[in-house]
């Protein structure tokens, strides 16, 4: 590590800790409560909410995985972002009015006053399991560059990133997570812009010439109109998948429920969809530039696949100072996703899985909850290190259970009068089993696009809930 790169990285880490400590100390004087820790006492402003949403969804998979996707394919991944505009409009217009101010977690809202503790506990456990697997993949992705830069193996880089995030998440709760997310979002966007400037400089070509070369090879294509079903799958998949990730995932719902007002949450979630398109296009452009670069230069034999390509390019070609900035950007992208996940899962553990805890021992529970979640995420990330194609792997894992969770939200919160299904462990189990069976039907037997997974999961889950509700009424 060169001295300037090291100084930049150390300065970034100290800044994150200082911000977390300052925000945490100010936020919890005399009010160390679960609502303060996990909902920031419903004090999040519009800039805090929208920046935190972007920072949370833009993981290291965006920083490293999306360039790898563009290198191997093209820009068709933007279809999901475009479809997400509709999904987030629905979340803003229909979901938020039904969840804001109704509980500490989303699963408390789904349970309702008539729900049983067994059902609430099971839905929280299903959610936590799915979240740990999908975010564990994202965590490993960010450690690729950290390990390469520090001259250590990826697992050691993973351990360093995990420990740093664990400590500052514990210090300040959701408020500190959100405030640090603003800094981290700014940093990884700057990193993407720097890459657009520096890759042409290294190649000794103009940005326009390199993008033209990629364009001529169809590397910048968004819509493949010759295969309209693939376009439909991308756009439609983005609609329902985004409703499940940003509407009924505690990670994102937590920010909406913690907003200063309902309107703040509604505007933040809707407008974030347009910023997401810009960020996605920025890093897909990095992949196109890398593709143009490696048409002239030999593909590095020492890296296993394109997932490592951008990290290798940064370490090999970026000058001192900017190299440290890029590593800090990747750490920012990784930590902004990890800190949000830890806080959301700890809220679920405290409020839904173990709801009868002694509030006076909150600090003790917070510590051990953080330890448990962090260790589990680390283990999954280590397992993910054996896979390639990390971007789609992370999304596909979440798509297997996203539809079932969305079906429970629809049946219990949006269309309750049509289902009248009691909320207990059997209800949750039935929705998840049939929902996952629907995804298996699409993936294994029909060989369908993974973008349809959420539709199959939600449709089969709703069918299970409708039949369960009808059966219960007949028995009564």
d(CA 15, CA 268): 26
pLDDT number for residue 266: 97
d(CA 399, CA 175): 29
Q: Which pLDDT band, with edges at 50, 70 and 90, does 27 fall under?
A: very low
- For residues 147 and 6, the model is more confident at 6
Task: Name residues whose C-beta falls within 8 Å of residue 375's C-beta, 6 or more positions apart in sequence.
Answer: none
- For residues 124 and 366, the model is more confident at 124
- Residue 51: DSSP 8-state: H
Quote the tokens at residue 183.
């800094």
User: What pTM value is reported for the model?
Assistant: 0.86
pLDDT number for residue 139: 74
Quote the tokens at residue 362.
């909150």
Predicted confidence (pLDDT) per residue in 55-74, tens digit: 888 766 677 788 989 999 99
Distance of alpha carbon 96 from its chain centroid, rounded? 19
Q: Which pLDDT band, with edges at 50, 70 and 90, does 30 fall under?
A: very low
d(CA 335, CA 354): 26
24 has pLDDT over 70: no
Instruction: Reply yes or no on domain 3-386 having CATH 1.20.1730.10.
Output: yes
Predicted confidence (pLDDT) per residue in 263-310, tens digit: 999 999 999 999 999 999 999 999 999 999 999 888 888 787 787 888
For 73-77, 141-145, 194-198, 338-342, which range has the lowest pLDDT when averaged over its residues?
Answer: 141-145
pLDDT number for residue 412: 93
On whether the CB atoms of residues 345 and 132 are closer than 8 A, the answer is yes
d(CA 308, CA 300): 10
Quote the tokens at residue 461.
């889950």
Distance of alpha carbon 423 from its chain centroid, rounded? 28
d(CA 402, CA 242): 10
d(CA 463, CA 135): 29
* C-alpha closest to that of 412 among 90, 91, 38, 120: 120
Quote the tokens at residue 450.
């993974």
pLDDT number for residue 119: 94
Task: Name residues whose C-beta falls within 8 Å of residue 124's C-beta, 6 or more positions apart in sequence.
Answer: 105, 107, 348, 349, 352, 353
Predicted confidence (pLDDT) per residue in 390-406, tens digit: 445 555 777 889 999 99
């Amino acid at each position: 590590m060169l001295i300037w790169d090291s100084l930049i990285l150390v300065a970034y880490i100290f800044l994150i800790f200082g911000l977390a400590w300052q925000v945490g100390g100010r936020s919890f004087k005399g009010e160390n409560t679960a609502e303060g820790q996990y909902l920031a006492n419903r004090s999040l402003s519009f800039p805090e909410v929208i920046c935190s949403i972007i920072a949370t969804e833009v993981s290291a998979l965006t920083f490293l995985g999306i360039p790898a996707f563009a290198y191997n394919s093209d820009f068709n991944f933007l279809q999901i972002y475009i479809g997400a505009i509709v999904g987030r409009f629905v979340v803003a217009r229909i979901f938020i009015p039904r969840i804001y101010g109704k509980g500490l977690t989303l699963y408390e809202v789904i349970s309702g006053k008539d729900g049983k503790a067994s059902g609430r506990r099971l839905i929280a456990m299903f959610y936590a399991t799915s979240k740990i697997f999908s975010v564990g993949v994202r965590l490993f992705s960010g450690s690729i560059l950290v390990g390469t830069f520090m001259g250590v193996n990826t697992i050691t880089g993973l351990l360093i990133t995990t420990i740093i995030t664990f400590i500052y998440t514990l210090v300040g709760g959701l408020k500190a997570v959100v405030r640090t997310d603003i800094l981290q979002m700014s940093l990884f966007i700057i990193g993407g812009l720097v890459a657009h400037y520096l890759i042409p400089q290294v190649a000794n070509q103009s940005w326009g010439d390199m993008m033209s070369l990629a364009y001529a090879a169809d590397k910048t294509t968004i819509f493949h109109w010759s295969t309209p079903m693939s376009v439909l799958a991308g756009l439609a998949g983005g609609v329902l998948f985004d409703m499940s990730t940003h509407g009924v995932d505690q990670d994102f719902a937590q920010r909406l429920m913690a907003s200063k007002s309902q309107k703040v949450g509604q505007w933040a979630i809707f407008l974030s969809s347009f910023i997401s398109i810009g960020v996605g296009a920025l890093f897909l452009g990095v992949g196109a530039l890398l593709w143009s670069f490696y048409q002239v230069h030999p593909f590095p034999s020492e890296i296993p696949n394109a997932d490592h390509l951008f990290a290798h390019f940064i370490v090999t070609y970026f000058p001192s100072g900017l190299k440290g900035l890029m590593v800090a950007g990747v750490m920012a992208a990784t930590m902004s996703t990890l800190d949000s996940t830890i806080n959301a899962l700890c809220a679920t553990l405290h409020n839904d899985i173990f709801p009868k805890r002694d509030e006076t021992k909150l600090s003790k529970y917070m510590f051990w909850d953080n330890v448990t979640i962090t260790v589990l995420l680390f283990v999954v990330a280590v397992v993910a290190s054996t896979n390639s194609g990390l971007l789609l792997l992370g999304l596909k894992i979440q798509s297997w259970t996203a539809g079932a969770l969305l079906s429970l939200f629809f049946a219990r919160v949006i269309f309750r009068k049509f289902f009248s299904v009691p909320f207990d462990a059997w209800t949750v189990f039935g929705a998840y089993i049939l929902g996952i069976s629907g995804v298996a039907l699409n993936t294994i037997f029909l060989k369908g696009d993974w973008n349809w997974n959420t539709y199959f999961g939600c449709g089969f889950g709703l069918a299970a809930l409708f039949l369960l509700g009808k059966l219960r009424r007949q028995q009564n």
